[in-house]
Amino acid sequence: METYFADGEPWKKVFGPFLVYLNSDPHQGNYSALWEDAKRQMLIDAESWPYNFTQSEDFPPSSQRGTVTGQLLIRDRYISKKDLWADSAYVGLAAPGEAGSWQTETKGYQFWARADTSGSFTITNVRAGAYNLYAWVPGTVGDYKYETTVTVTPGSLIKLGSLVYESPRSGPTLWEIGYPDRTAAEFHVPNPSPLLLNKLYVNLKPDWFRQYGLWERYGELYPEDDLVFTVGTSKYQKDWFFAHVTRNKGNSTFEPTTWQVKFELRDVSPKETYTLQLALASATFSEIQVRFNDPKMGKPLFTTMLIGSDNAIARHGIHGVHHFYSIQVPGSYLQKGSNTLYLTQARARGLFEGVMYDYLRLEGPPNSL
């Protein structure tokens, strides 16, 4: 996520202002009260942004900023004949680029808002400039980009009206694993080693993944054979490990690991094309190879090639940069009855090479409802 400049290109960017808040408690030792007080103050100051006390010409006040409003709808004819509201979508303005480019864009400013249940959004206090409007929707795969450049001027109110995001979809859902929210939080996050337990997170289940060394539990849970997930029987909340990592063989050596997804198909159309929608919540110097029904196939059906450097696994995170792939699967690779999807994390030079999955979905051929 580096920032690049042309020779002689001028650039500046404001970071801040920052608030330092010092509080005290007459009943010494009541740390919980201090923490709650600090959080209240944080909310007060967040609501006061952008601050008007600054004197820098590079930090425009509210009156010199603009507002962008609209409504985002989702079109997925395999779910509904009508366009659906993009409930709780994240909608933002960032530098012009490809869909999803905002994830690694650091040169310009970004302004984001959360849509309501009807997909309506209001992005306030936007600096003057030219932007693309981007969005992603919890429960829906892929990235949205509004193709028209949005130019914000001081004091402007831009009404975009209703926008439609046609989510990536090739056919009806045959099976799915996880929930598309760009994190691995819904999967099995194991208990930490008692020697590494951070008591701060003991009672904070949503942040349980912030314990140190959780990736090492994979080798303890699967010392020889790798994870096997059976569609219709296994539950991803407890049977799908949150991180697909290497196996530590000792003496600073590691080996690739291959996960299996077993599933049944009542019928297969050999001449039709199926689709595997594969979303990754994080990747660190990894390569996911995809094979169906033949784990020894020399050339995989699909490979991500070498991707990722967000290091979320090592840094106790649950997501990094999102990666999304729509993988075409020839029907000849599948068979009536029992099938197995093999997912190999093929890079194994170190401890932290691995991915976190966000969501997997196998779709049937188009119009095969």
In the 3-class helix/strand/coil scheme, how is 237-249 assigned residue by residue?
HHHCECCEECEEE
Choose among 101, 96, 134, 95: nearest CA to 115. Answer: 134
Contact (Cβ atoms closer than 8 angstroms) between residue 266 and residue 172: no
> In a 10 Å sphere around its CB, with 0-12 CB exposed, 13-18 middle and 19+ buried, how is residue 238 labelled?
exposed
Same domain, 114 and 197: no
- Chain-centroid distance of CA 160 in Å reads 26
The domain boundary residue, chosen from 134, 166, 198: 166
Q: Is residue 204 part of a domain?
A: yes
Contact (Cβ atoms closer than 8 angstroms) between residue 340 and residue 366: no
The domain boundary residue, chosen from 121, 138, 166: 166
Choose among 280, 277, 85: nearest CA to 165. Answer: 85
Cα(319)–Cα(90) distance, rounded to whole angstroms? 16
Same domain, 117 and 187: no
| β partners of residue 338 | 264
Instruction: Report CA-CA distances (Å) from 84 to 120, 146, 160.
Output: 12, 17, 18
Same domain, 334 and 353: yes
> In a 10 Å sphere around its CB, with 0-12 CB exposed, 13-18 middle and 19+ buried, how is residue 176 labelled?
middle
| β partners of residue 329 | 274
For residue 166, count other CB atoms closer than 10 A to its CB.
13
Cα(104)–Cα(325) distance, rounded to whole angstroms? 18
Looking at the 3D structure of the chain, how many domains does it have? 2
For position 369, what pLDDT does the model report? 62
pLDDT tens, 71-121? 999 999 999 999 999 999 999 999 999 999 999 999 999 999 999 999 999
Tell me which H or E stretch contains 33: helix 31-48
Same domain, 178 and 146: no
Same domain, 206 and 317: yes
Q: Is residue 1 part of a domain?
A: no
Same domain, 99 and 140: yes
Q: Which residue has the higher pLDDT, 161 or 352?
A: 161
Of how many residues is the chain composed?
A: 369
Same domain, 316 and 228: yes
For residues 313-328, average pLDDT: 96
Same domain, 156 and 192: no
Q: Is residue 2 part of a domain?
A: no
Cα(362)–Cα(229) distance, rounded to whole angstroms? 14
pLDDT tens, 295-313? 998 899 999 999 999 999 9
Same domain, 152 and 252: no
pLDDT tens, 170-225? 999 999 999 999 999 999 999 988 888 887 777 767 788 999 999 999 999 999 99
Q: Is residue 134 part of a domain?
A: yes
- Kindly indicate the confidence band of residue 2, based on its pLDDT and cuts at 50, 70 and 90: confident
Tokens matching residue 87: 């409930």
Same domain, 250 and 277: yes
Which domain, by its residues, includes 101? Answer: 62-166
pTM score, two decimals?
Answer: 0.93
Q: Is residue 36 part of a domain?
A: no
Tokens matching residue 57: 């010409």
Same domain, 305 and 338: yes
Same domain, 184 and 324: yes
The domain boundary residue, chosen from 144, 166, 188: 166
